[in-house]
Structure 1
Amino acid sequence: MPQISVVIPLYNEIGNVGPLCAALAAALGSADVEIIIVDDGSRDGSSAALDREAEQRGEQFKIIHLQRNFGQTAAMQAGIDASRGEVIVTLDGDLQNDPQDILPLAQRLLAEDLDVVAGWRKNRQDGLLLRKIPSRVANRLIRRITGVWLHDYGCTLKAYRASVLKGVRLYGEMHRFIPAWLATLTYTDRIVEMPVRHHPRRAGQSKYGITRTFRVLVDLIFVKFFLGYSQRPMHFFGTIGLGFLSLGSLMLLYLFIIKFALGVEIADRPMLIAGVLFFLAGLQFLNTGVLGEMLARIYHESQDKKTYVVRGTVHLEPPA
């Protein structure tokens, strides 16, 4: 059983396959590490190149070929599922992350008994307008919304404790927010960051663009809801519903009083329509909260989904 599993999702990186495998072999050498490269349906010859590298470099390298391009998150989950190490380190396959940083991150995680050590590209080698500025804006928003204060959420190079990482399932675009998801299973002070090297892209083309920032903003809405209310949706929808219901009730009560106590005509008042709408909206939000609670209960019971992660167990046998 290897102590460290390195998971690398890779898509159409034919120019980087050879240098990447050479750099990994040089950085990890004879360390107790397995290297899992997930070919995410590449169609530029990367698949054959990875197979040749694996045959040449031996059993330390493991190649997983996906049927088609499922996206970085799915490829990362495939590698995590196949990993056997106590520590899982993820990094990109474009050689902008430096394989020399893998062992320092894993060693710090083990030495300080942490759950996540995230890489921080302190001296980032990317374009200012299309990469650095959007990334800074996105990172600031993610920090404020999730409460996990990392400088660089976009850096794939991170070390995780396998028992914690395997407590969540990755789908959609969740790979950007893994530390935030793990904050639901561990304390935030067990999630730290560490400066790592960053290099300009040597070959191939970046798979990211300015549109990624907008996708992050949309995903953050779901992340905020999931982190705070996935197991208690009634608290989210119910709070909004009670607010609308109270506001609508006050409006209607006011109109009722002036209608029957003062004889004022209310049929042509906009407040009447607004009060009815707020009242009905409040009822709808409360109904949505009830349905959410039922769905959450059905999900956890049918999937036998645990809401906790066990770090370890101590059981002392009584003396004979």
Structure 2
Amino acid sequence: METKCSLSIVIPVYNGAATIGRLVDELARLSVNGGLEIVLVNDGSCDNSADVCEALVSKYQVPITFINLSRNFGEHNAVMAGLHHDRGEYVITMDDDLQNPPSEVVKLYEFARASDYDVVYTSFQSKEHNSFRNFGSWLTNRAADFLLDKPKGLYLSSFRCMNAFTVEQIRKYTGPFSYIDGLVLQVTQKIGTIEVVHLPRKVGKSNYTFRKLVHLWLNMFVNFSIMPLHISTVGGIVLSTLGLLGVIEQTLEYFFWHKPQGWATIVCIILIFSGAQLFILGLIGEYIGRLHLTSNRKPQFVIRTIKQNH
């Protein structure tokens, strides 16, 4: 794709009507050598975010692309839609809630540009999310350490800067189960980090829910790792070994100590083994189901309209 500006800022918008206007206003005032563009992706918002974003396209001289998706596809798929329409040498992704100050965009961009990193993530000295989101982010990062071969000490955040090479490689993923950080870690290990300011949320409430957290974990576990299958194999071996030891123990008791048969114990063992089998079958079913949906070309995103001022 032809590069026409130095920096693209991709913002997935979900119920962000109260904040996106101020965010774009502050971004439009930034001075970046080579110019910048803003890519807004409305991810099936329930409020009037689409109308607000469409009005912003006509309001500013800075190049703005507004992508209106046909329904809610999830944050990472919305970001993918934006990445397919950016034109920058570098791309910054950020949330629409104003908790990442626009003034930190230039700091992040200049650090990435001056470094040899393909991707630069931001870290926060003090995170101003609510306790549930902080815990969810911590848990997600710990899971990524285990599953994704993440560089030690790297904190994964949605406020990140990627060069054009990385973005071009990420675009090649066409499946419906996008996970940007998983794709980044498949592409490169040249990843840096920079500390930035994180502000408290002043308007509205977080769209981060338990359901979205589970969906993110499933994408990470199933689409970007086969570690769960390894764990299932090891678990199956352990349970089978315990079962064999149990049979030996029961046989010895029957022939040498003549103890009555422990039916309650047998029932518990059967329940444990049955539960383990159902869990593993469900895990395998999750892999197969996702392959089925991907082979049937479930869309990563569907664009209803695009509006630009350039």
Q: Is TM (by shorter chain) over 0.5?
A: yes
Letter in 2 for 1:117: V
Q: Which has the higher contact order (CA 8 A, sep 6+)?
A: 2
Per the TM alignment, residue 32 of structure 1 is displaced from its structure 2 partner at its CA by: 4.0
3-state SS of paired residue (1:97): coil
Cα distance in 1 for partners of 2:70, 2:278 equals 43
* Structure showing the higher strand proportion among its residues: 2
2:168 is matched with 163
Unaligned runs of 5+ in 1: 305-320
Cα distance in 2 for partners of 1:49, 1:182 equals 31
Per the TM alignment, residue 63 of structure 1 is displaced from its structure 2 partner at its CA by: 0.8
| Residue-by-residue CA offset, 1:240-272 (whole Å, 9 max, x unaligned) | 11111111111112223443x437255345444
State which of 218, 238, 245 in structure 1 corresponds to 2:240.
Answer: 245
1:222 is matched with 218
| Residue-by-residue CA offset, 1:155-209 (whole Å, 9 max, x unaligned) | 532112313543656867x76xx4356334433xx3332122344556x423347
Maintained 8 Å contact 1:38/1:79: yes
Cα distance in 1 for partners of 2:195, 2:293 equals 38
Identical residues among aligned pairs (%): 26
2:204 is matched with 205
Maintained 8 Å contact 1:255/1:266: no
Cα distance in 1 for partners of 2:38, 2:48 equals 20
Cα distance in 2 for partners of 1:255, 1:139 equals 46
Cα distance in 1 for partners of 2:187, 2:54 equals 37
| Residue-by-residue CA offset, 1:277-306 (whole Å, 9 max, x unaligned) | 5566666677678x56984996799599xx
Per the TM alignment, residue 62 of structure 1 is displaced from its structure 2 partner at its CA by: 0.7
Maintained 8 Å contact 2:222/2:287: no
State which of 107, 112, 115 in structure 1 corresponds to 2:115.
Answer: 112
Unaligned runs of 5+ in 2: 298-310
Residue 95 (structure 2) pairs with residue 96 (structure 1): no
Maintained 8 Å contact 2:124/2:198: yes
TM-score, normalised with respect to structure 2: 0.70
Q: 1:7 to 1:294 in 2, by over 3 A?
A: closer
Letter in 1 for 2:167: A
2:28 is matched with 25
2:261 is matched with 267
Q: Is the deviation greater in 244-253 or in 83-92?
A: 83-92
Cα distance in 2 for partners of 1:58, 1:278 equals 64
Cα distance in 1 for partners of 2:291, 2:72 equals 32
Cα distance in 2 for partners of 1:50, 1:293 equals 37
Letter in 2 for 1:141: L
1:254 is matched with 249
Aligned length: 285
Per the TM alignment, residue 86 of structure 1 is displaced from its structure 2 partner at its CA by: 4.2
Per the TM alignment, residue 36 of structure 1 is displaced from its structure 2 partner at its CA by: 0.6
Cα distance in 1 for partners of 2:130, 2:274 equals 46
3-state SS of paired residue (1:183): helix
Per the TM alignment, residue 61 of structure 1 is displaced from its structure 2 partner at its CA by: 1.0
1:146 is matched with 144
3-state SS of paired residue (2:78): helix
Q: 1:220 to 1:25 in 2, by over 3 A?
A: closer
Cα distance in 2 for partners of 1:73, 1:140 equals 18
Cα distance in 2 for partners of 1:70, 1:220 equals 12
| Residue-by-residue CA offset, 1:141-160 (whole Å, 9 max, x unaligned) | 33333224345x5x532112
Q: 1:101 to 1:171 in 2, by over 3 A?
A: farther
